[in-house]
Structure 1
Amino acid sequence: MWAQIRELAIAVTDHPYWASLPREEVVSARMTLKKKARPADEPTEAEGVDAVRRPDPLLPLPPSLDQLQVIRRWLELTLTRVDERITALRAEEDEKARRLPLPAAPDWWVEYGNGARRMPELAHTGVCETTSRGKPSTAQAVRELLLSGRGVMACPQCRPDSELGLLDT
């Protein structure tokens, strides 16, 4: 794209019109062209003498054909970039839609200790956020671990033993 912009800039600056001017006047002529305003709006015969044509509120366009062609080329390049970005974003959205949704969070967790033994240490409810190392479990498996007497404790924050009704027995 930058190569196209460079070619367009070269085409504008090397236009034969600039060669026809004396070298001393080229810069001032370019500045005059740059600053040149639109011609005054004149009413058409159909509008009558009292009517005045209102300027285009979106974009005042220059009167020069060369300037209009440069603007047109720039808009084409910009539109191409916008179309490419739209295509990329649609592809990303399609990819997200194709992905499977994340599985639901488990209702129960069993946290395992460090080291070679990696024995169960704590039981958690599924909403407990105090652990990141553990495995999902079932209510029955957590109940059996808590009642087994193998040293598995209930998390003091989420209290799975009260959730399972073990404190009532």
Structure 2
Amino acid sequence: MHEELSSPELEKLRFLQRVQLRQLEQTERWIGAELSRLREVAARRPLPDGPGFVLSYLRRGGRSAADAVHVGDCRLAGKHVKTVTEDQARRALAVDGIPACEFCRPDADLGILE
């Protein structure tokens, strides 16, 4: 019969692997909980009136920078937004390299699929 190879170092590495797998599972649960929380917050936020597309903004280095392009009624757009036209939204996506929101997918509405 063939015995399984083992050493104290191998046992330590297997222990470390089990610990890391548990940590990964915990991190995945935290991510799921945060996504659920974000969905709940987005569901409670009132829908904005009318604009077709908006740019959401974040503060970077003390300055406001465009973060993503959203369809106007996207609840994940945040509260710092600027209404833009279809052409401005297309330019932001195609030329300026501003990403499209992964939830409302304005690139699909604009015909710019990656």
* CA distance in structure 1 between the partners assigned to 2:57 and 2:49 by the alignment: 21
- For the pair 1:107 / 2:52, whether they are aligned, the reply is yes
- Alignment length, in residue pairs? 65
Task: Give, as a single letter, the amino acid of the residue that structure 1 aligns with 2:79.
Answer: S
* CA distance in structure 2 between the partners assigned to 1:145 and 1:135 by the alignment: 12
Partner of 1:119: 65
Tell me the secondary structure at the aligned position of residue 162 of structure 1.
helix
Partner of 2:37: none
The Cα shift of 1:118 comes to 1.2
Task: Give, as a single letter, the amino acid of the residue that structure 1 aligns with 2:59.
Answer: N
Superposed structure 1 runs of 4+ greater than 2 Å apart? none
Gaps of 5+ in 2: 1-47
Answer with 1 or 2: which has the greater Rg: 1
- TM-score, normalization by structure 1: 0.35
The Cα shift of 1:146 comes to 0.4
* CA distance in structure 2 between the partners assigned to 1:151 and 1:159 by the alignment: 15
The Cα shift of 1:104 comes to 4.0
Partner of 1:167: 113
* CA distance in structure 2 between the partners assigned to 1:135 and 1:146 by the alignment: 15
- For the pair 1:142 / 2:106, whether they are aligned, the reply is no
Task: Give, as a single letter, the amino acid of the residue that structure 2 aligns with 1:154.
Answer: A
Q: Which has the higher contact order (CA 8 A, sep 6+)?
A: 2
Gaps of 5+ in 1: 1-102
* CA distance in structure 2 between the partners assigned to 1:146 and 1:134 by the alignment: 16
Verify the 8 A CA contact 2:52 2:71 in the aligned structure 1.
yes
* CA distance in structure 2 between the partners assigned to 1:104 and 1:157 by the alignment: 19
RMSD, aligned α-carbons: 2.0
1:19-168 equivalences in 2 (<5 Å): 104-115=49-60, 116-130=62-76, 131-148=78-95, 150-167=96-113
Task: Give, as a single letter, the amino acid of the residue that structure 2 aligns with 1:136.
Answer: T
Describe the superposition over 1:85-109 as per-residue Cα deviations: whole angstroms up to 9, x where unpaired. xxxxxxxxxxxxxxxxxx9421111
Verify the 8 A CA contact 1:121 1:151 in the aligned structure 2.
no
* CA distance in structure 1 between the partners assigned to 2:69 and 2:112 by the alignment: 13
Tell me the secondary structure at the aligned position of residue 113 of structure 2.
helix
- TM-score, normalization by structure 2: 0.51
The Cα shift of 1:132 comes to 1.8
